[in-house]
Amino acid sequence: MAESPAFLSAQEEGSFAYLTIKDRTPQILTKVIDTLHRHKSEFFEKHGEEGVEAEKKAISLLSKLRNELQTDKPIIPLVDKCVDADIWNQYLEYQRSLLNEGDGEPRWFFSPWLFVECYMYRRIHEAIIQSPPIQDFDVFKESKDKNFFESQESIDALCTHLKQLRPAKDLSENELKDECFRLLQISLWGNKCDLSLSGGESSSQRTSVMDSLEGLKPFILINDSEALWALLNGCKKTAKTPAVRVDIVLDNSGFELVTDLVLADFLLSFELATEIHFHGKTIPWFVSDVTVRDFSWTIEHVKSSNQKSTATCGADWENHVKMGRWIYHDHLFWTLPHPYCAMPQVAPDLYAELQKACLVIFKGDLNYRKLMSDRKWAFTTPFRQALSGFHPAPLCSIRTLKAELQVGLQPGQAEQLSASDPHWLTTGKYGIFQFDGPLPTCPFVNTIQPKLA
Ligand SMILES: O=P(O)(O)OC[C@@]1(O)O[C@H](CO)[C@@H](O)[C@@H]1O
Ligand SMILES: [Mn+2]
């Protein structure tokens, strides 16, 4: 079997990974420290002097982390008592075992980018939970909520659109397919709103994304939505059980989460699925990723909108959760550094859970990096090959490109893109719908096989 390519890392000066570790992560840490400073009086009001001492302790731990990162110090074991600390520390030892004589220690500008970037966010969490009584403070809450409020107009336009759709019985199959593609594209471009790429700067959706779908189509580099539709439409027709389950592995809160909830509502309301399972993060992650608080907060704030269609959507969504048609999960695996091909070994319960789905949608760039093990695959590597055996169910990545990693392109496509737009891999300007369809033994063997080019 061909050897797997090397991992992306910050070893290569000028690479996106290098610039992320060198510039973006210190910027994010500085913003976290600033956020804690700005909440000092709140901590005092809530917890008295103890709250002020906690803020000081968290800031000193975060300043130490920033210094370790900026001076390329060795990665050190976690010391908190969280359930996943041992798994993290075992993974650190695994990284150490991969090093050659003379490589030195696992460290920020040497070790795999996926490991050190995930580790940074886990260390931020450690700094907060080691500073009671502010251990439950979400240092990214402010920016996630701000993204939601700043995207209000786009959210209202999207909810109005959803509520104006004619009932399923009045739509032809083609009209249903077109609407499904429209909402899939909106969910895709919702992924541009990502605060870790922007270093925590605002990345709200200020214009109505629906009006720009036509203009954005040339920026979809891989479009397997026909195969996706064949599966979704096929599940409805040939499901062996009454339940048709679609899982969405969420990415960012704010506008992107609303686009995912609108897509989920559509799949249910138009009978393409009977239950939607959402997967979020157990801790604050990559600045904008969804936690259970963000999930509930978002539905609550959509429901309390003063815009009628938006409020109606929020009430419907709250009801889907109450009636068990929408189920929220947050397994700790999603905030570990492991690539997804390790899931059967590291989190067999989660893998078994995903195997119950007819389709698993993975939103965003970090999920794509983990699907691809964050390796430097050739651009024309078949998607299934780069998944390295990960296939709990038919799956689709819906992602805007924000890392120097892409597979499944046609020969010459990457070269053409590099010539026309040197930063095509990392600006979030381009997107994909990349589908890995049913394996031959799966019950739904659909007619359209995704191109494995
Ligand atoms: O998963 P998301 O939210 O689409 O993107 C997360 C992300 O912006 O964080 C890193 C940059 O620091 C990139 O690897 C990645 O694109
Ligand atoms: Mn994210």
Over the stretch 206-219, which tens digit does the pLDDT of each residue have? 666 778 899 999 99
- Measured in Å, residue 168 CA sits from the centre of ligand 1 at 36
**pLDDT surpasses 80 at 194:** no
* CB 412, CB 425: distance < 8 Å: no
Counting ligands in written order, the one closest to the CA of 281 is 2
Handedness of CA 108, 111, 112, 118 (dihedral sign): negative
* CB 427, CB 191: distance < 8 Å: no
- Measured in Å, residue 337 CA sits from the centre of ligand 2 at 14
Mean pLDDT throughout 320-335?
98
Comparing 235-239, 291-295, 392-396, the range with the smallest average pLDDT is 235-239
Over the stretch 295-313, which tens digit does the pLDDT of each residue have? 999 999 999 999 999 999 9
Query: Considering only CA atoms, which residue is closest to atom 5 of ligand 1?
Result: 365
CA distance 119 to 86: 13
Mean pLDDT throughout 17-36?
98
Mutate to test the pocket of ligand 1, among 27, 69, 191, 366 (most ligand atoms within 8 A of CB): 366
Tokens of 347: 């989190």
Q: Regarding predicted confidence, which is higher, 88 or 168?
A: 88
Over the stretch 332-354, which tens digit does the pLDDT of each residue have? 999 999 999 999 999 999 999 99
- Measured in Å, residue 453 CA sits from the centre of ligand 1 at 25
Pocket lining for ligand 1, CB < 6 angstroms: 20, 24, 191, 194, 196-197, 251-252, 286, 364-366, 369, 402-403
C-alpha distances in Å from residue 1, one per residue of 4, 62, 385: 9, 43, 11
Task: Give the position, in ligand 1's atom list, of the atom nearest the Cα of 402.
Answer: 16
**pLDDT surpasses 60 at 15:** yes
Query: Considering only CA atoms, which residue is closest to atom 8 of ligand 1?
Result: 197
Comparing 142-146, 195-199, 259-263, 274-278, the range with the smallest average pLDDT is 195-199
Mutate to test the pocket of ligand 1, among 9, 187, 194 (most ligand atoms within 8 A of CB): 194
Counting ligands in written order, the one closest to the CA of 367 is 1
- Measured in Å, residue 223 CA sits from the centre of ligand 1 at 21
Mutate to test the pocket of ligand 1, among 24, 365, 426 (most ligand atoms within 8 A of CB): 365
Query: Considering only CA atoms, which residue is closest to atom 6 of ligand 1?
Result: 366
CA distance 417 to 419: 5
pLDDT at 210: 78
- Measured in Å, residue 10 CA sits from the centre of ligand 1 at 15
- Measured in Å, residue 124 CA sits from the centre of ligand 1 at 17
Task: Give the position, in ligand 1's atom list, of the atom nearest the Cα of 113.
Answer: 14
C-alpha distances in Å from residue 388, one per residue of 340, 374, 379: 9, 12, 15
pLDDT at 169: 85
Mean pLDDT throughout 7-12?
97
pLDDT at 174: 95
CA distance 172 to 176: 6
Tell me what ipTM this predicted complex has.
Answer: 0.96
pLDDT at 167: 87
Average pLDDT, the chain: 94
Closest C-alpha to 246, from 219, 274, 266, 276: 276
Q: What's the 3-state SS for the chain? A: CCCCCCECECCCCCCHHHHHHHHHHHHHHHHHHHHHHHCHHHHHHHHCHHHHHHHHHHHHHHHHHHHHHHCCCECCCCCCCCCCHHHHHHHHHHHHHCCCCCCCCCECCCCEHHHHHHHHHHHHHHHHHCCCCCCCCCCCHHHHHHHHHHCHHHHHHHHHHHHHCCCHHHCCHHHHHHHHHHHHHHHHHHCCCCCCCCCCCCCCCCCCHHHHHHHHHHHEEEECHHHHHHHHHHHHHHCCCCCCEEEEECCECCHHHHHHHHHHHHHHHCCCCCEEEEECECCCCCCCECEHHHHHHHHHHHHCCCCHHHHHHHHHHHHHHHCCCEEEECCHHHHCCCCHHHHHHHCHHHHHHHCCCCEEEEECHHHHHHHCCCECCCCCCCHHHHCCCCCCCCEEEEEECCCCCCCCCCCCHHHHHHHHCCCCCCCCCCEEEEEECCCCCCCCCCCCCCCCC
Task: Give the position, in ligand 1's atom list, of the atom nearest the Cα of 428.
Answer: 16
- Measured in Å, residue 315 CA sits from the centre of ligand 2 at 26
pLDDT at 195: 58
Counting ligands in written order, the one closest to the CA of 363 is 1
**pLDDT surpasses 90 at 239:** no
CA distance 333 to 350: 8
Mutate to test the pocket of ligand 1, among 193, 286, 367, 423 (most ligand atoms within 8 A of CB): 286
- Measured in Å, residue 256 CA sits from the centre of ligand 2 at 10
* Per-residue confidence band for 447, with pLDDT thresholds at 50, 70 and 90: very low
* Per-residue confidence band for 235, with pLDDT thresholds at 50, 70 and 90: confident
Mean pLDDT throughout 128-141?
98
- Measured in Å, residue 64 CA sits from the centre of ligand 1 at 24
Half-sphere exposure of 428 (CA within 13 A, CB side): 15
pLDDT at 453: 32
- Measured in Å, residue 433 CA sits from the centre of ligand 2 at 17
Mean pLDDT throughout 378-395?
98
Mutate to test the pocket of ligand 1, among 370, 402, 406 (most ligand atoms within 8 A of CB): 402
Kindly state the percentage of the chain with pLDDT values over 70.
Answer: 93
pLDDT at 236: 74
Residue 246 has a CB neighbour count (10 Å cut-off) of 24
pLDDT at 200: 61
